[in-house]
Amino acid sequence: MPIDKRVASAAQSLEGVGDGATVFISGFGGAGFPNVLIRALRERGPKNLTLVVNSATHRYSLTHELIDANLVRKVICTAARGHTKDPSAFESRWMEGKIELECVPQGTFTERIRAAGAGIPAFFTPVGFGTELTAGKEVRRFGERDYVLEPAIAGDLALIRADTADRYGNLTFRYAQMNFGPVMATAAKLAVAEVRAFAEEPIPHAQVQLPGVYVDRAVAVS
């Protein structure tokens, strides 16, 4: 049967997602947030999620809705500070001890995700050495520098945003929309892309920015 990864609705694209899932959510700097999928996930309502997302609260992302709905047990992120004067939904729950937080330097964050998708269980990095974010981690000297051993972060579900998808799941991205999307798709058991539009024809090979091999389902949202 010819490969076809396009599905009809965001709800359908999340079939099989259950409680306790580790969920990647793409987006950075205001671009690439899969907001339709985030809302569909909230409506689906799986509990005890671990979110792996650059920012626990970004003004252009709907990530906070998952937190507001009490679906989230833990957040792994690089930015946990809200953007308003008052504490965010995340910050309130975190201070109350209801949500666990792991704050990770951004390059380590993306490399740990890439590592999971690339079959690497752990790698050494100079980033974070001597800081409290790597307290307790294994340290080793290579040459004249000190490095920290960082483990991969694998996930159950990746929600990413792209511009177009073809039937094979190949993706193109607009400008800075790419950010964490590609590596998140590689590291999740189920990778779902929301796209502006489906490409009617296969995307020409030189325009593909993420091979469909990594994308399980795609849904067009406009």
Partner 1 sequence: MTPLNRLQITWRAAQDIEDGEVVNLGIGLPVHCSDYLRPGVDVVIQAENGVIGAGPLAAHDKIDTDLVDAGSRRITLRPGASIVDSSWSFAMIRGGHIDVTILGAFEVAANGDLANWDMRIANRGPLVGGAMDLAACARAVWVIMEHVTRKGAPRLLERCALPLTAVRCVSRVYTDLAVVDVTPHGFLVREIVDGMSRDELQAKSGAPLAFAGDCKVLTAPPIALPE
Q: Which residues bind its own copies (CB under 8 A)?
A: 111, 115, 118-127, 142-143, 145, 147, 151, 172, 175, 205-207
11 contacts partner 1 (rule: CB under 8 A) = no
- Based on CB atoms, which residue is closest to its own copies, 63 or 164? 164
Give 3's Cβ-side CA count (13 Å radius).
Answer: 14
217 contacts partner 1 (rule: CB under 8 A) = no
Choose among its own copies, partner 1, none what residue 116 binds, the Cβ cut-off being 5 to 8 Å by kind: partner 1
Closest distance of CB 11 from its own copies, Å: 32
Choose among its own copies, partner 1, none what residue 142 binds, the Cβ cut-off being 5 to 8 Å by kind: its own copies
Choose among partner 1, its own copies, none what residue 147 binds, the Cβ cut-off being 5 to 8 Å by kind: its own copies
By CB atoms closer than 10 A (0-12, 13-18, 19+), residue 70 is: middle
CA distance 56 to 75: 7
CA distance 158 to 188: 6
197 contacts partner 1 (rule: CB under 8 A) = no
- Based on CB atoms, which residue is closest to its own copies, 60 or 123? 123
Contact window for partner 1 (CB under 8 A) among 14-22, 42-50, 56-64, 65-73: 56-64
180 contacts partner 1 (rule: CB under 8 A) = yes
- Based on CB atoms, which residue is closest to partner 1, 44 or 65? 65
Whose tokens are 């990778």? That residue is: 191
Give 79's Cβ-side CA count (13 Å radius).
Answer: 15
Contact 9, 44 (CB under 8 A): no
Q: How far is CA 103 from CA 68, 109, 174, 178, in A?
A: 20, 9, 28, 22
